[in-house]
Structures are given as C-alpha cells and as structure tokens.
Structure 1
C-alpha cells in the first residue's frame, strides 16, 4: 500500500535514517542485507537499546550486510556507503557539518537513543535530500521525526503496520499524515535502492 506522493520529486538523496524498536532485530536483519553492495550513501539507525547492551547486535549485522556496519562514535565524520548504529544509552544526532554526535540528554518518548532526535537533526542537516524510514515498534517515537523529514522536503516511508511485528510505531507515524509510502518490509530495500542509486 502506498500513500500518493509526488513522483516527479527526483532530488539527490544524500542519507537514509531508520528508526525501529520492538521487533527491530529481526526486521533489520531482513532488510539491511538487501541494500545494494554499491549503496553510495550513509545510513543512520536508531534501534531502541539499553546502555548495557553488548556488541552482539552490531556484530551480527556486520556479518550479514554487504555495507560496512559500525556503532556510531562521537565526532565521526559521516562517510559514504556506511551504516551507523546508535549506541545503547546515547542519542545519535547529525551535526550541520555532517559529523555524528552522541548525547546523554534526557530520554525522548522514554527512549535514549531516540528516533525523533536522530530524524529531526538529520532533517536539519540534509534538508530535502534524505529518506526517513519507520519500522516495527511499540511506542510513538519517530512520529515527530517523520514530520520533520516531511517538512524538510524529504521522503518518508513506513513499514505496513498490518505485517509489522508490533504495529504501534508505524501507526503513530501514519497518523501524522506525513508519510509518503507504506510498504511491506521486504519492499523497502528494493524501493530505497532504486531511489538512491537512481539519484546518485
């Protein structure tokens, strides 16, 4: 199912941000390996994790993905064709100079890392040249971030809540009326590959 969007909007895509919570381990392990091995732009991800989480999550993605995967480090300059994962217990932000920043500011929607924090900062940094994606999850984190990306002129995508492990987060994003596309999980990487590789 797709919400109608402007099919003439063919801007240069410079980054992808993904937000996910409950059910995210399985969802990310399904879609990220399907991103093209020549994927030319950075991907920043917030998966709700606690500060005491170990490195298993990131290491397991490294083994599955064609693209380099790493946990985000404060003050790192964003590199092309890499996947950055927010560390547990830290907000992940994109700075205006396109470096990454980590913060221990108060939780947002009871979460740190917060999807809203990443999406809102990325919308400020990349403007219309960004894709925001919300996947399965159990709270409303990401809804304000989706609105920020839409307001900046970016493209917004949500996993079909009917087939998400947990539908609350996708539904909250859809209720903002700021979602361009509602897609099945396995459709998302193909759709993003076509948009990104076709625009670069």
Structure 2
C-alpha cells in the first residue's frame, strides 16, 4: 500500500541525517512528508531554507489548518507541536512540551496514526531522548509501516533504540535503505 503520508522525527544529529534522505526524494514524489526536528525555542527555523535549496520537492513550514498536499515536505515550526487532524489537515498547538520538546515527535506520530492508520509510514532518526518511541508504537499498532535508523549507525542511537524497544516490529534500516525505500514509493 502506498502511504497517504510519511512522518519523520529527528533530534541530535537530525539535520545531517535528513540531509542524506530528503534531497534524494525525486521531483515526482507525490506523498506529503511531515518532519519534526527538535529545534530551540525562539529561534527562526532555518530548516525550510536549508532543505528548500537541496530538495527537488517543495519544502515549507507547516501552517495551522493547512490541507496536506502531495510532493511537499512540511517542517514543524519552532515551539509548536505539529498535529494531523482526522480530515488530513495540519494543526499547530502550543500545549505543554512532551518529552521536554515542543515540537514533539510523539505528538505528530500519534495524531498521524489516528488520521491515516495503515496508510502511514513513520521514520525515527538519530536523537538523544525517547521522543518518537511511543508514536512509532502507535503507527505500528495502527497497521502503518514503522522504520528506525539503524541504532548502530546513528550519530546518537538513543532515540532509534528506544523506538525499537517500544515497537519491536519496526524495521531498522541504514540511510541507503531508507532512501531506497522512499524512492521506490515514487516509482510509477
């Protein structure tokens, strides 16, 4: 099944990890990709500009009440949780931090699992805490595809290892395997 959306979470080392994955998406990639990276509060989110220059698909900061469009990478704004509503639209929230983070990966993953069920792919990349573990478990429980960066190759293995512990059915993959998996989703 081709997913209706892909969600990706990263923390420490995440920009480097995403730099190996997102620019590899071909221009014909038609699945929306929602990304949470732990970024400091009250800082301009330079990720959109950074990845916009590197990627063949559109890159933007997620906006409240926006309807997801294919072929677009949506980054969570600094200091806002990124959620997916039941109708597939985006919602932003300034509710309490989760796992000491806002935006939190678990919030995105859990709401996307509720919205898309088995038509969702979730990917947990490098990071130094446990954010994303419960969310990936929710994706797996909803029948979605759960992927983690192989902990042994992650810059900071804590987050992928925690996600594997919570979601043992998740597939541990190298960057090349993740990139190939995503590129195959764009195949005609």
Equivalent residue for 1:18, pick from 8, 18, 22: 8
What is residue 37 of structure 1 aligned with on the other side? Answer: 27
Q: How many residues align?
A: 188
Map of 1:56 onto structure 2? 46
- Which structure exhibits the higher relative contact order, with contacts defined as CA atoms closer than 8 Å and separated by 6 or more residues? 1
TM-score, normalised via structure 2 length = 0.96
Q: Which runs of 5+ in 2 are unaligned?
A: none
Match of 2:123 among 133, 142, 148: 133
Runs of 4+, deviation exceeding 2 Å: 177-180
Q: Which runs of 5+ in 1 are unaligned?
A: 1-10
What's the CA shift string for 1:73-130, capped at 9, x where partnerless? 1111111110000011000000011110000010000100000000000000001001
Asked whether the 8 Å contact 2:164–2:170 carries over to 1, the reply is no
Question: What is the DSSP-based 3-state SS (H/G/I as helix, E as strand, rest coil) of the residue aligned with 2:175?
Answer: coil
Superposed displacement of residue 160, structure 1: 0.7
Identify which of 121, 143, 146 aligns with 1:153.
143
CA contact 1:146–1:179 (8 Å) conserved in 2: no
Counterpart selection for 2:178 from 181, 185, 188: 188
Superposed counterparts of 1:67-146, under 5 Å? 67-146=57-136
> Which residue is 1:27 aligned to?
17
Task: Say which of 142, 156, 161 aligns to 1:166.
Answer: 156
SS across alignment from 1:156: strand
Q: CA deviation at 1:55?
A: 3.6
Supply the distance in 1 between the matched residues of 2:77 and 2:115 (Cα, whole angstroms): 20
Q: Deviations over 1:31-74 (max 9, x none)?
A: 10011221111000000012222242210100000110001111
Q: Would you say 1:66 and 2:74 are equivalent positions?
A: no
Q: Conserved in 1, the CA contact under 8 Å of 2:47 and 2:75?
A: no
RMSD of the alignment, in Å?
A: 1.2
Over 3 Å counting, the alpha-carbon distance change for 1:124 and 1:103 in structure 2 is: same
